[in-house]
Amino acid sequence: MKLQLYTDRMSQPSRAVLILCKASGIDFEEIKVEISKRQQLSPEFEAINPFKKLPAIVDGRFKLFESSIIICFAIPVPVRGDGSMWFNKTSFIWNSEPDICHAILIYIASAFPGVANHWYPADLTRRAKIHSVLDWHHLNLRQGAAPYILHTVLAPVLGLPSSRQAAAEAEKILTSSLSKIESIWLKGNGRYLLGSFQPSIADLSMVCEIMQLELLDEKDRDRILGPHKKVQQWIESTRNATKPHFDEVHNVLYKMKLKLSLQRSNQVEGVKESRIKTPLTSKI
């Protein structure tokens, strides 16, 4: 029986697991669980993961899943007849934030002989450093990137309540995390974390997290990522090391970026039109 991956490519940890499997030539079955359709709440999926979260895997009789704190998260759902994803205020559901996939990445890298050693080195000291980075990801980068995207891109675009203060605080954590990645984790001769010359599961996990910033508008993305040239090079190195899988798996994100960008343009056009129709003098 093939390894089964329960994933939604809109979630960054799902993408990290998929890229590792594809880059390692693992024969797997991708079972799409669409968060936008609440499929992760079904009794069938609950039997796989009692926390009802993604990603999850089944390897023979072994089930492994992730679980995290429930955070309100808005997911757009298709509302047009042609199946395209578009937004209106009634077209989304509340859901939980997708989870981090460290335990799954470690299991796959350990259990499948096809996975190259550099992803999760057998050497105990190198492995320990990777665990240390993964712990750091949980409590730093993740705590900045996820709420920042929520309070800037998703909430305002979808008409959900958002908090400028929460966005500002998340941006501080995110910016500080990106600085620490450059000054501490990317220190050394190699192109990857911990000065390595080849990527590990920590690179994959963190780069997939930062890729969520693709959903920002260009101005915000440039303000945040612009000063971090080493981070940009590192993303590019990880992309190159896993091509063509990296872009193929991230394609859903690029499409969403385009749709959000179009929506922003339409909103601006709408505001312009509204100003013409309702001149300021009409208020007097």
What are the residues binding a second copy (CB under 8 A)?
A: 50-51, 62, 64-69, 99-100, 102-104, 106-107, 110-111, 124-125, 127-129, 131-132, 134-136, 138-140, 143, 173, 180, 184
Q: How far is the CB of 200 from a second copy (least distance, A)?
A: 13
Q: How far is the CB of 102 from a second copy (least distance, A)?
A: 6
Q: Which is nearer to a second copy, 100 or 253 (CB)?
A: 100
Q: Which is nearer to a second copy, 143 or 263 (CB)?
A: 143
Q: How far is the CB of 49 from a second copy (least distance, A)?
A: 10
Whole-angstrom distance, CA of residue 95 vs CA of residue 37: 10
Q: Which is nearer to a second copy, 85 or 134 (CB)?
A: 134
| Cβ neighbourhood burial of 193 (10 Å; 0-12, 13-18, 19+) | buried
Q: Which is nearer to a second copy, 60 or 83 (CB)?
A: 60
Q: Which is nearer to a second copy, 61 or 277 (CB)?
A: 61
Q: Which is nearer to a second copy, 183 or 232 (CB)?
A: 183
Contacts of 120 (CB under 8 A, 6+ apart): 105, 106, 109, 110, 127, 130, 200, 201
Q: Which is nearer to a second copy, 64 or 231 (CB)?
A: 64
Q: How far is the CB of 80 from a second copy (least distance, A)?
A: 35
Q: How far is the CB of 234 from a second copy (least distance, A)?
A: 18
Residue 248 identity (one-letter amino acid):
E
Q: What are phi and psi of 46, to 5 degrees?
A: -60, -30
Whole-angstrom distance, CA of residue 8 vs CA of residue 95: 13
Q: How far is the CB of 124 from a second copy (least distance, A)?
A: 5
Q: How far is the CB of 7 from a second copy (least distance, A)?
A: 16
Q: Which is nearer to a second copy, 92 or 120 (CB)?
A: 120
Q: How far is the CB of 140 from a second copy (least distance, A)?
A: 5
Q: What are phi and psi of 202, to 5 degrees?
A: -70, -40
